[in-house]
Structure 1
C-alpha cells in the first residue's frame, strides 16, 4: 500500500472531519439557544414590550441581585436569593412582586438619550438602567449606511440591558427601583472630549443620590458613579451592584458566521483559577455561578461585540450568573458595603463597556478582558498571526491585501518544509511505474510486496512519510488562522476589491470557493494517481467536497486558502518539473 498517499488522504479527511464537526457544533449551539429560550419563557410572566422607553421589565424586583452573608459565598444559592431582593442579614420574603410586570404607560418622558462620537445611549430614569446602546461606528447592515448597529436594546425583539444601583440595608434599589430625575432628556457630546449626565434621587429623610454617567470621546467605556450625600440623622449603608440582563434570543452581528463557525453567546468572567471562564445560557440555568474576586470583570459576549461591567479593581467583589424565574439570563457583581455617617458624603463607582471585541483596547481596560476574543486552544498561534496581520494592514490599508501578504509570509516560513513534501511527491511520481511493477509481480503476496516497496524507497532515497508530515505540521496554522479571521471584528464589513465588499461574510457569487476548488483539482494533477481505486475516487471528490464546505465560509478565509493553493501549486509545479528533467537527463 502507498503509505504516503494513505497518510495524506487521512490528513485531508481529518481536516474535513474537523470542519464538519464545527458545523454540527454550530447547529447544536443554535438549537440550544432556541430550546433554552422556549423552555424558560413558556408560560412565564415575561411580557415583551413594544418600545424602548416603555419597559418596566428592566426593573422588576426579582431581577435584582442579593447581598448575601459571607457564609453564603461560594455555597448553594437559594432560589429566594436569586429571585427576590433581600436585605443583608434580613429575613427573605419569597413573594415575588409583580406589580411592575406590565409595560409602563410613561413613554419618552422616562428616557434620557445620550449621543457621543461612538455611542448612542438610552437611559431609563426608572432605575437609571442603560436600555439601549447603538454603536455609531458600526453599521447594522453594510447596505444601510444610516442605521448603526444596536448592541443593547429593550423591545419586543430582544431584552438586553445593563442595570446598576444600590442595594443592601439602605439601598435605594432594595425594595423597588429608584426613580431618578434629570434636568434634560437629551445630551449631546458635540465637540467636547467628555460628557457628564447626572440623574438625581432624594428622599424626605435627607439622603440624596446622584447617579453620574461620564462619557469620553473615542471610547466605549462609560464611568458610572453613585454619589451619596447623607444629611440624615442615621448612618447610611448600601452595596453597589451592576449586572447585564439578557434573554436567550440569538445575537445579531450584521456579518460573520459561516458554515463552520460556532460563535459563543453567553456570559464570561475572570477568576483566580481561570483567566477566562465562559457560561452558556444553558449552563447558567443548570449551574448558577457565584465567586469572589479582587478586581475582575463580568461580561456578556457574542460574535464581534460584548458588554461588560468592570468594578473597582482594588476591592473584592462577588460575581454571579443566574437565570431568573421569568427566563432572563443575568451576569453581574455586587461590591462590598459602603457606610456613610450622618452629615457625610460617599461615592462608589464602576465602569461599563459596550462595544467591539477589540483586543488591544480591551487589554487596557481590565486584565484578561481581551480573552473575550476567543481563539480557542490555538490562541498561541492565532495571537501572533493577528498581530502580524494588523501590522501589514497599517501599511497597505486594505484587509484583503493584508490577508494576501500574510499568506505569502506564512508560505515563505514553510517554504523549505513544503519543498520537502513536494520533492517527496515528485519522486513518488517518478518511481510510479516501478511501484506498479512490484504490485503486479507480488499481487498475491502482500508481505513480499511490502518488502520490495521498502527496498525501492531505500534505493531511490524516498521517505514515504515525507509528503504528508509537512502538511500535518501546517494544519494547526490553518485552524488558528481560521479562528483568527472569524473572530476579528476588524474584518466585519471590511471591503476587498470589486464585488467583495465584506470579508466577514461569504462570497456572494461564490467566485473564491470555485477558484479554491479548481486550484485543488489542478494540484491533484501534479501528484501521482493513487494505485488503489477507492483512494483514487476519494481524491477525485475532495475538491468538490471542499468547494461545498467553503461556499459559506467568510470571503477573507477563502481568500487565504485560494492564495495559499496558488502559491503551493506554483512551487510544486517547479519542483516536479526540476526532478523530472533531472531524471530524464540521467
Structure 2
C-alpha cells in the first residue's frame, strides 16, 4: 500500500513539472537568452572559423536498363561487350586465324568458355559487379576506322555508383579505362579488382606454352605449371606494372596505374579456363566524393612495335632470355629480309647464310685446328703410353707438345662456343616472333595436296626436315678429322641421333635454320679439305 502511494506521488510530480513548463512557454514567461556584448562579438569574430565540410555531390537516382550486346569494330578487332557490367563476350582478331586450315575462323581471344568468367569485369570488395549490381547503357555500337571512341557503362551496387568509361583506339590493341566510384555512405577501405579470362591459346607447338605472367617492378614472372595453378593458383603483391595471361604470341593483360600497391591472383578453373585478377586495395571512398581509378587493358597479339609504344613496360612480355641484345637485332634483320623476299622460310635461309659468312673465319680456324690435332695423334699416343702411370708428367709433356707445334687444343671447340649464343638468341627470336605464326615456307608437300611447311611456328608434320637435318650431321661427322680416342669418336657419332631426337618436335623454322647451317658447314668443310690436299 505504501509503495503504491509513493509511485502515485512521483507520477503526479512529473506531470506537474511538464505541465508548468508547457504553460510557461505558452505564456512567454521563459526569459530570453542574453545577447552577446560588443566585446564578446569581437572575440567571436577573431576566433578561427571551423573548416567547411567537403561538398557532398548529390547522386542522381539510378535507373537501370535492359542488358544488351554492344559491338566494337576497329581495324584490328571485333569485340562484343555486355552492357550489364561492361564485360567481354567475344574478342576476335581480324589479322589472325584460329588455324591454317582454309576457311578457318578468326582467332577469338575470349572463347565462349572464357566468357563465363567475365573478362574485363569489375569486382568491388570481392563481389562481381556484373551480376551483383544493376546497370544501364544509353550509347550505341562503335565502328572505328581512325582515331578514338569511348563507351560508358553505368551501374550501382551496395550503395556505390559505378561509371566505366572505356576508350578504344584504331591503331592499337590497348584500351584505356577510367572507373569512377561514388558512395553516399562512404567506404574508407574499398577494394577494386579487374578480371581476365581465357582458354589455352598455346596452339599445337610444344614450345608455345600458356602461362600466368606479371611484371613485378620490372622483373618478368611466369607460372606455367597447370597442376599447381589448378590446385593452388598463384598470388603476388607489390608494385605490379602489368599482369595477365599469355603465350609466345598472344597476351591478355591489365595495366594498373603506376605506383600503386596491387595484388595479382590467378588460377585455372575446373573447366580449364585460365582466370586472373589484379586488385587495387585501400581505395578511399569518402561520402559523396567520387574516386577515379585509371587503368588499361591489352588483348591481342604480342606485336613488338605496338608493345614498345604501350605503357607500364608491357614490352617485357616478349621474353628472349639473357641474349636479348643479340636476339632483337637478328629478329629485325629477319623481318627486313622477309620484307623484300615475301617468304619467311627464304628469309631464314638468307639470315643463316649471312651468319655463316660472319663466322666463316672462326669455322675455318676450327677445322684447321682439328686437322692439326689429327696430325699430332701418333705422338700423343706415344706420350700416353710412356706416362700412363704419371698423369702430372703426361699433362706437362702434352702441353709442351702443343706449344712446340703451335696447336691450341681448344681451337676446335672455341669457335663453336662463340657461335652458341647466336644460336640461342636466334632460337628465342624465332620462338617469340608473332609474324612466324602461320607463316608458310613450302605450303604443300611436293606432288600432293598435303599441308607441309605451311606454319613455321609448329613442327614438321611429316618429320622430313628433322630427319634430313640428322643425316647432314652424320655427313658432317664423317667429313670431320677423326679423333684419336675411339670413345670420343663413338660419342661424336651418337650426337646426330641425339640432335635429331631433340629437334623432332621443334618449330619448323628453327629446324630449317639448323638444317641450312649444316649444309653450309658441309660445303665449307669440303672446300677447306680440298684446299688442304
Q: Helix, strand or coil for the counterpart of 2:372?
A: helix
State the distance in 2 between where 1:367 and 1:114 align. 25
**Candidates 253, 258, 270, aligned match of 2:202:** 253
1:539–1:183: structure 2 CA closer, same or farther, 3 Å change rule? same
Matches within 5 A, 1:206-355: 209-227=162-180, 240-245=192-197, 251-255=200-204, 257-258=205-206, 261=207, 263-272=208-217, 274-280=218-224, 282=228, 286=232, 289-293=235-239, 296-313=241-258, 316-323=260-267, 329-334=275-280, 337=283, 339=285, 342=288, 347-355=292-300
The 1-side partners of 2:130 and 2:435 are apart by 44
Aligned length: 454
Alignment of 1:158-197 (within 5 A): 161-165=118-122, 167-168=124-125, 177-183=132-138, 187-189=141-143, 191-197=145-151
1:548 maps to 2:501 = yes
- In structure 2, distance between residues paired with 1:153 and 1:546: 38
For 1:525, which of 452, 455, 478 is the aligned residue? 478
8 Å CA contact 1:153–1:160 kept in 2: the answer is no
CA 1:175/1:217 → structure 2, altered by over 3 Å: closer, same or farther? closer
TM-score normalised by structure 2 residue count: 0.73
Once the 2 structures are TM-superposed, how far is the Cα of residue 354 of structure 1 from its aligned partner? 0.6
Query: 2:346 corresponds to which residue?
Result: 401
Q: C-alpha deviations, 1:378-437, integer Å up to 9, x for none?
A: 3343233323333433444432232223223322332222222111122234455x4587
Distance 1:471 1:423 in 2: 13
1:60-71 superposed matches below 5 A: none
Q: Which runs of 5+ in 1 are unaligned?
A: 1-107, 582-586
Q: Tell which structure's C-alpha radius of gyration is larger.
A: 2
Is 1:120 matched with 2:78?
yes
- In structure 2, the CA distance between the partners of 1:252 and 1:208, relative to structure 1 (3 Å rule), is closer
Pairwise CA distance, 1:465: 1.8
Inter-partner Cα distance in structure 2 for 1:493 and 1:202 = 45
Q: Which residue of 2 aligns with 1:534?
A: 487
CA shift digits 1:221-240 (9 cap, x unpaired): 12233355x6x976687654
| Structure 1 partner of 2:433 | 488
Please give the alpha-carbon distance, in whole angstroms, between the structure 2 residues aligned to 1:452 and 1:241. 72
Residues 426 and 183 (structure 1), Cα distance of their counterparts in 2 relative to 1, 3 Å cut? same
| C-alpha deviation, 1:276, in angstroms | 1.5
Q: In the alignment, does 2:139 pair up with 1:147?
A: no
- Evaluate the alpha carbon distance shift between residue 548 and residue 496 of structure 1 in structure 2; reply closer, same or farther with a 3 A threshold: same
Aligned to 1:390: 335
Structure 2: unaligned runs, 5 residues or longer: 1-65, 445-452
Shift of 1:300: 1.6
> Any conservation in 2 of the 1:172–1:178 contact (CA below 8 Å)?
no
State the distance in 2 between where 1:290 and 1:506 align. 35
Give how far 1:570 is off. 2.2
Q: Using a 3 Å threshold, how does the CA distance of structure 1 residues 450 and 266 change in structure 2: closer, same or farther?
A: closer
Pick closer, same or farther for the CA change 1:209–1:487 going to 2, 3 Å: same
In 2, Cα distance between equivalents of 1:113 and 1:390? 34
Larger RCO (CA within 8 A; separation ≥ 6): 1
Q: Is the 8 A contact 1:266 1:278 kept in 2?
A: yes
**For the structure 1 residues 173 and 459, does the alpha-carbon distance in structure 2 shift closer, same or farther, using more than 3 Å as the test?**
closer
* Change beyond 3 A, Cα 1:429–1:400: same
Answer yes or no: is the 8 Å Cα contact 2:144–2:170 preserved in 1.
no
**Alignment CA distance shift 1:545-1:214 (3 Å):** same
Equivalent residue in structure 2 for 1:381, among 310, 320, 326: 326
- What does residue 41 of structure 2 align with? none
Alignment CA distance shift 1:191-1:301 (3 Å): closer
